[in-house]
Amino acid sequence: MNKPVLRLYLLVVVLFAVLVGFTSRWTVFDAEALRENELNKRTLLQEQKIRRGQIRTQDGDVLARSVPRAGDTFGRRYPAAELFAHAVGYAYTSIGRAGLERSHNDALTGQTDELTGVLDSLLGKDERGDALVTTLDTRAQREAVAALEESGHKGALVALDVRTGGVLAMASVPSYDPNRIGDPRRFAELNRDTANAPLVNRATQNGYPPGSTMKVVTAAAALDTRRYRPDSRVSGENGKPISGVPLNNFGNEDFGDVDLTFALTNSINTVWAEVGEKLGGRTMQRYMERFGFYAEPPLDYPDAQMSASGVRKGGELVPVTDDAVDVGRVAIGQGDLFATPLQMATVAQTIANGGVRLKPHFLARTIDPDGRTVEEGEAEEAERAVSRETAAALTDMMRQVVREGTGTAAALEGVEVAGKTGTAELNLEGLNQPWFMGFAGEVAIAVTLERFQGGTGGTDAAPIARRVLEALGQ
């Protein structure tokens, strides 16, 4: 073979290899990313021909269904309107997808392997998606939204099944009606409403200073490392220097040497800040990561609608070991620490589950058009955060908070509730971020209210948690 022919041959081989590479990239390796790209309207237009599967609660209520439209296409209707808007999301050709409509799009549109799709077409089968049965509970969701709205403040709540990680309720207030935002003008109007941000899921996207609810994580680290016991005594002196700056207790209360159970029951800042300092940044970082901080939540929900919890400076996550981080104040839920309600509900679920953190999930099962179960959601362990002994000791301490401490407003008749209140101070004029997190029976819960003048976790957040726990039969 002469050289010109050889060069031509090699050129053809290289070009063919490039063609195969690019074809494989778009049809195999990056196919899912291409489908999910919001700029790719072709996929959305194709999906109009498919009768998307229903989305239902675990108790059978329909949250999303397809309705016929002109030209052999289908549209989407949301019978529950605002009630489940943030969890369920929406699916429109004009604006794209969000929520479960996005994260479970493949199942809802019946996307299968290419061979099966071809065979179905040849057999003349209608293009129909699988139904998605969620872990959501209608009564709990209704109670959560009503309680948040009645508070008169923006806020969010998450309730999880302790033994499975299933999301029982996820509420974010204010909400929106997904039936109305298919109109791009309405969608743009809601996007421009930065004061209320109704499209933002405050349960998974917004991080807030968790205040004293963070003391549960600090206590877990203290007990699990065996550096402290529930009866270990620490000074609760008001104005104690932390990182060289005096720290005050809530209401400037002054305490002598108290044990850790008393310190958690009465939410003594100076005790837990000192404990956090003595544990150190390395230990605090390790246990925070075990509880799920510093990582995107492992939830079957769109990545773009979730945020990782942790210390943030300039909008970026910064490890507790960084020299610029005040470990003592992080230990009490301040010091540039931000956490989502989902994260704090996960902390409660982990303690209630004997120290094992589970991956939260919405999926109960998917059912194909012929009524067969295609996939089932199940409990999936993320990590053992603390020992069973530590979880049991901490549970006793948290129950004391509800029996006679700051969380008495969350108490239920005949049911042991374990919890922790939080009142993160946002300024020196009484603007606070009230919290409650805890668990009872098989349910873990976290609730917070935004920028509440004079609000406290015990007075304002704990009663909301109690209402949802009651709705779930706890």
Of the candidates 360, 338, 386, 353, the residue with the CA atom closest to the CA atom of residue 159: 360
In this structure, is the dihedral angle defined by the CA atoms of residues 169, 161, 216 and 420, taken in order, positive or negative? positive
Give the closest residue to 380 by CA, choosing from 365, 367, 361: 361
Catalytically annotated residue among 103, 151, 172, 212: 212
What's the rounded Cα separation, in Å, for the pair 467 and 374?
A: 35
Question: Packing angle between helix 388-404 and helix 215-224, nearest 10 degrees?
Answer: 140
Give the CA angle between residues 306, 307, 309 to the nearest 5°.
140
CA atoms of 451 and 334, how far apart (whole Å): 15
Q: Is 428 exposed, middle or buried (0-12, 13-18, 19+ CB in 10 A)?
A: exposed
Residue at token pair 């269904």: 65
Residue with tokens 């549209």: 75
Tokens (6 digits) for 105 = 């799009």
Determine the 3-state secondary structure of 152 from DSSP: coil
212 assigned to active site? yes
Residue with tokens 């070991």: 321
Residue type for position 84? F
Beta-ladder partners of 90 = 98
Q: List beta partners, residue 453.
A: 431
* Token reading at 82: 């605002």
Q: Residue 454: left (phi > 0), alpha (psi -120 to 50), or beta?
A: left
Q: How far apart are CA 418 and CA 434, in angstroms?
A: 17
DSSP 8-state secondary structure symbol assigned to residue 376: E
Q: What is the dihedral of CA 197, 199, 205, 210, to 10 degrees?
A: 40
Reference 470, options 139, 148, 167; nearest CA is 139
Catalytic positions: 212
